[in-house]
């Protein structure tokens, strides 16, 4: 499908809207879900999931709490600044996801907040990178905030595990392959609240909500508000690159595969370049990055290799 969209800074753009497969997680027709997911993973590694079991009420609460946190004065937010375990607040320009195309700007026009699995300081697991205590706002500053985020963190992991069952089946592995203790038993799961301020993106000047990148992990679940902005580029080598919008679908997650799964599957499944273009409206999204245990050995999956197709 192609349609004319509003121009960005006077430059008319004809941008396609991607029609991604919609995967039903309810379990009512697993065969159909697996074949639809498989097709999406071979094609671009992006799809929607619906009937994932997280209620609209909880989603609304998480977004409300996220808005409240970003609405705090900068001085309050800076007290919650990201620590050495990558948990906490990341201000504007903290990240520059596409340095080659963002040479003349300070970075991505977004602010964020990382929340990992809560691991107390005195827990031996806190020695691992990315594991440790989270940074939490005071209860009297943001009442109920921590509880809301911890609840969502847990339920999102269940959704990721449900998706990983379908991925396993799509790769002809046994259904719990990725959910085994050695793989997703103690995952690195990172919730990231994101806020894109209204600053209009201008690719010709390197101004983006988020520069082009692919996610590096296993899978990412993305929840967004109803403001569009996410774009994908299925063929990164095409000249010029062709970008397609992935529109928000109410109640659905956008799921995308990370580079690790691309590699794990011997490049049979795809991780795809994506970016965020802001058209003048503020936008909030919530990413949930899932990676396996720290000591998980990632090597070519047994079903992704053959004599003709040896491990890359
Ligand atoms: C990311 C990402 C997209 C969005 O955080 O990796 O691609 O819509 N986010 O915020
Ligand atoms: Ni991403």
Q: Which atom of ligand 1 lies nearest, measured to the CA of 229?
A: 8
Q: Which atom of ligand 1 lies nearest, measured to the CA of 256?
A: 7
Which residue carries 């490049």 as its tokens? 267
Could you say which DSSP state residue 34 is in? H
The CA 70 to ligand 2 mean position distance, Å, reads: 20
CA distance 53 to 63: 17
Q: How many domains does the chain have?
A: 1
The CA 124 to ligand 2 mean position distance, Å, reads: 30
Residue 189 lies in a domain: yes
CATH number of 108's domain? 2.60.120.330
Range of the domain at 220: 2-304
* Host H or E run for residue 192: strand 188-196
Residue of 1, 32, 25, 33 whose CA lies nearest to 14? 1
Residue 49 lies in a domain: yes
- Choosing from 258, 276, 288 the residue with most ligand 1 atoms within 8 A of its CB, the one to mutate for a pocket test is 276
Contacts of 13 (CB under 8 A, 6+ apart): 5, 7
Q: What is the pLDDT along the chain (312 residues), one digit of tens a residue?
A: 444 444 444 444 447 888 999 999 999 999 999 999 999 999 999 999 999 999 999 999 999 999 999 999 999 999 999 999 999 999 998 889 898 888 888 899 999 999 999 999 999 999 999 999 999 999 999 999 999 999 999 999 999 999 999 999 999 999 999 999 999 999 999 999 999 998 899 998 999 999 999 999 999 999 999 999 999 999 888 888 899 999 999 999 999 999 999 999 999 999 999 999 999 999 999 999 999 999 999 999 999 999 999 999
Site residues for ligand 1, CB cut-off 6 Å:
192, 194, 210, 215, 222, 224, 230, 274, 276, 285, 287
The CA 241 to ligand 1 mean position distance, Å, reads: 19
Residue 58 lies in a domain: yes
Residue 152 lies in a domain: yes
Tokens linked to 247? 């529109």
Query: What is the DSSP pairing of strand 230-233 with strand 273-276?
Result: antiparallel
The CA 311 to ligand 2 mean position distance, Å, reads: 26
């Amino acid at each position: 499908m192609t349609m004319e969209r509003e121009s960005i800074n006077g430059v008319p753009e004809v941008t396609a809207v991607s029609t991604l497969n919609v995967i039903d997680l309810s379990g009512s027709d697993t065969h159909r879900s697996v074949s639809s997911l498989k097709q999406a993973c071979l094609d671009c590694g992006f799809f929607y999931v619906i009937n994932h079991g997280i209620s609209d009420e909880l989603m609304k609460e998480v977004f409300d709490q996220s808005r409240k946190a970003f609405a705090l004065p900068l001085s309050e937010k800076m007290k919650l600044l990201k620590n050495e375990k990558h948990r906490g607040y990341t201000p504007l320009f903290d990240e520059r996801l596409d340095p080659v195309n963002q040479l003349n700007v300070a970075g991505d026009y977004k602010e964020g907040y990382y929340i990992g699995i809560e691991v107390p300081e005195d827990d031996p697991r806190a020695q691992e990178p990315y594991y440790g205590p989270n940074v939490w706002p005071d209860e009297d500053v943001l009442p109920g905030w921590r509880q809301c985020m911890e609840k969502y963190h847990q339920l999102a992991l269940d959704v990721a595990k449900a998706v990983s069952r379908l991925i396993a089946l799509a790769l002809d592995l046994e259904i719990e392959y990725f959910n085994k203790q050695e793989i997703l038993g103690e995952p690195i799961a990172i919730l990231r609240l994101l806020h894109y301020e209204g600053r209009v993106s201008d690719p010709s000047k390197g101004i983006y909500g988020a520069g082009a990148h692919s996610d590096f992990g296993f899978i990412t679940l993305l929840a967004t508000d109803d403001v569009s902005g996410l774009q994908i580029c299925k063929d990164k080598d095409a000249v010029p690159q062709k970008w397609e919008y992935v529109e928000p679908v109410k109640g659905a997650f956008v799921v995308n595969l990370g580079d690790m799964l691309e590699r794990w599957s011997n490049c049979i499944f795809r991780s795809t370049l994506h970016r965020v273009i802001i058209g003048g409206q503020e936008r909030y999204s919530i990413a949930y990055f899932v990676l396996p245990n720290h000591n998980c050995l990632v090597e070519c999956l047994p079903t992704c290799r053959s004599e003709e197709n040896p491990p890359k």
